[in-house]
Amino acid sequence: MERTGFFSNLRLFSGAIPVALALFGVVLANLPVSFTSNQLPAPLLGLMPVYFWCLVRPDLMSPAWAFLAGLLTDLLGPGTPGIWAASFVVTYGVVVRQNEAFASLSGFAAILGFATAVLIACAADYVLTCLFAWRLLPAGSEMSELFSSVVLYIPTAAFFGFVQRRFIGASRSEF
């Protein structure tokens, strides 16, 4: 089976899962369906896999993939194209630079770690949007987005952990 390339195809598939989940999360967050009657903005479902795999398997989630997820968020959602792409890349950069601090968190502290990452993304979005508009804007939308993203990260992180254990594997040396 090894000569047929079965295992290399399986490795390629498992390596594409984090990116596919990020892109799927962006599409899912931008569907024209709201469970809150548009009272809350859509959560950053595309940032969740970027954050998770940036910590767990940074070899599978590069800044280019974070940029692509942010760009897709810009293209499918309202707002100025490029702002979420820049926000995702800034968040990716901070999380990678502080990888040991974020990766060592568990339990409630891990949720606070993600909340910090979303705060960085929302702050970058807010600052860039204000710069683009040349005025200060209300920050209520970003705060609501932060809240909904953090609440939904709890079950999503459990799902990502299952996917990591079942399909991807913990060791970088496997790839």
Whether residue 173 is predicted with pLDDT greater than 50 in this model: the reply is no
Q: Residue 124, SS3? A: helix
Among 80, 16, 78, 1, smallest CA distance to 53 is for 16
Q: What pLDDT, on a 0 to 100 scale, did the predictor assign at position 174?
A: 42
Of 56 and 173, the one with more pLDDT:
56
| pLDDT tens profile 107-161 | 889 999 999 999 999 999 999 999 999 998 888 888 999 999 999 999 999 999 9
Q: How confident is the model at residue 1 (pLDDT cuts 50, 70, 90)?
A: very low
40-95 pLDDT, tens digit each? 788 999 999 999 999 999 989 999 999 999 999 999 988 889 999 999 999 999 99
The C-alpha R_g of the chain, in whole angstroms, comes to 17
Q: Quote the CA–CA distance of 113 and 118 in Å, as a whole number.
A: 9
- Per the CB < 8 A criterion, the answer to whether 139 and 32 are in contact is no
8 or 13, higher pLDDT: 13
b/e for 40-53, b at 16 or more Cβ within 10 A?
bbbbbbbbbbbbbb
Q: How confident is the model at residue 34 (pLDDT cuts 50, 70, 90)?
A: confident
